[in-house]
Structures are given as C-alpha cells and as structure tokens.
Amino acid sequence: MEPKPLKYKSLDGISERQLSEHHDVLYAGYVSKYNEIEQSLSDVDLKASNATYSELRELTIEKGFALNGVKLHEYYFDGLGGQGGEPSGPISELIVRDFGSIEAWNDQFKALGMSARGWVVLGYNYDLQKLQNYICDVHNQGGIWNTMTILVMDVYEHSYFIDYGVKRVDYIDKYMANIDWEEVNSRVRNNIPGYQDNTNEQKGE
Ligand SMILES: [Fe+2]
C-alpha cells in the first residue's frame, strides 16, 4: 500500500505545516506500519496462536489499528479542500431525512467533536438504512459494522495543535468550513442504494 497524496497544500485556517506533519509523517507512518505488519503476518507461526499473547494475535490487532488509521485519515483528508457551508445534492437530502435538518446534524456532529477522543464519523448504516453520527476514541474501537463511511473529522490533538493549541472548538469550525461536499456526494452516489448517478440507473428493466 502507498500513501495517497494530499489534494491541497494548505486550507483556510489549517496551515501547510499542520497538514504536512499530519499527512506526510503521521498518516504515512500508518501506511508503512500496515505494510510491515502484513509482511510479518506472512510467516507467523499459526500453531502458537493464543488469546493471552501470541504473535498472530498481536499482529492482527495492530493490523486493524494501522489499517483503520490509514482509512480514517484518507476519508478525512479527501473530505477537505472544499468551501464548507451548507451541503447540497444527495447528502443534503439524506441529512434532512435522517436528522430533521442540516442544523440539527451540524450541531450534533460538532458537539461530538468535543466528546470524541479521536474521530467523529458520519456513516450510512446499511442495516438501519440511515445516516448516523458515531465517535471512535482510537482507530480500532467504536467502528460500527456494515456502515459506509461518509464524512470523517479527526479530533486528535495532532490534527490542530500546531494551529490552535488547545482550542479545539475553533479547529472544528475551520474543519466544517473546509468540507468538500462534492467529494461527500460522490461517496453517497457510489455507495448508498437509491442515490447512484442517473447514468447508472437501471430502472424500467
Ligand atoms: Fe490524525
């Protein structure tokens, strides 16, 4: 696996240095550790598998940590670089349907940013067939199975400390102001039943 490049160098209110430390060092580090773990797993002794301690157990747990660290960061970075503000298109329809209003979703998502120790995730739960906000305190804890990731906000201190010190609430405002709603809408169109692009519709067959 290779790191995905950033689509931008800096954002309104999030500096180039903040982003490069976050992307080029921290995120890239998860990619290289994932590769290292996969390599180590290829010749692990399966007969020594043990639930208290074994190489297979430890490597597999850290593989989940590293891989979620990679994926969450990619959704985070790729979801920024836009103009923020009010969403439009299918994501707007879904948010209003499932949260009552854009404002109600926005208020909860931002408040969760002050509750989470790691991540806030807007996801589409395929079993419930609706959008929900979730939080994760570490990469491999708090994720909900059978849910499509739609929007991710990193609230670890490393994501804002260079620019904002301990003022997380100011960072959250800037995060919201830089959301790329076009990217979010493409995630909806590519993954949520009923919202595919018209060109791919097969109705009437
Ligand atoms: Fe991060």
* Ligand 1: centre distance to CA 99 (Å): 27
Ligand 1 center to 68 CA (angstroms): 11
pLDDT computed for residue 198 by the predictor: 54
Q: Does pLDDT of 11 surpass 80?
A: yes
CATH (residue range 89-192)? 3.55.40.20
Neighbours of 70 (CB within 10 A): 23
How far apart CA 102 and CA 125 sit, in angstroms, is 18
Distance CA 79, CA 13 (A): 16
| Chain segment 46-74, per-residue pLDDT in tens | 999 999 999 999 999 999 999 999 999 99
pLDDT tens digits, 177-205: 999 999 999 999 999 999 987 554 444 44
Q: How far is the CA of 198 from the centre of ligand 1 (A)?
A: 35
**Residue 62 and residue 37 in contact, taking contact as beta carbons nearer than 8 Å:** yes
User: What are the DSSP calls for 33-91, one per residue?
Assistant: HHHHHHHHHTT--GGG--SSS-HHHHHHHHHHHHHHHHHHHHHHHHTBSS--SS--HHH
* pTM: predicted TM-score of the whole model, two decimal places: 0.94
Q: pLDDT digits over 110-152, tens only?
A: 999 999 999 999 999 999 999 999 999 999 999 999 999 999 9
Q: Where are the domains of the chain?
A: 16-78, 89-192
For residue 159, the CA-to-ligand 1 centroid distance in Å is 5
Locate 167 and state its tokens.
């003022």
Q: Which amino acid is at 96?
A: V
Looking at residue 197, what is its pLDDT? 73
> How far does the centroid of ligand 1 lie from the alpha carbon of residue 41, in Å?
25
Packing angle between helix 55-78 and helix 28-41, nearest 10 degrees? 150
Q: Could you tell me if 45 and 53 are in contact, meaning their C-beta atoms sit under 8 angstroms apart? A: no
CA of 110 to the centre of ligand 1 (A): 17
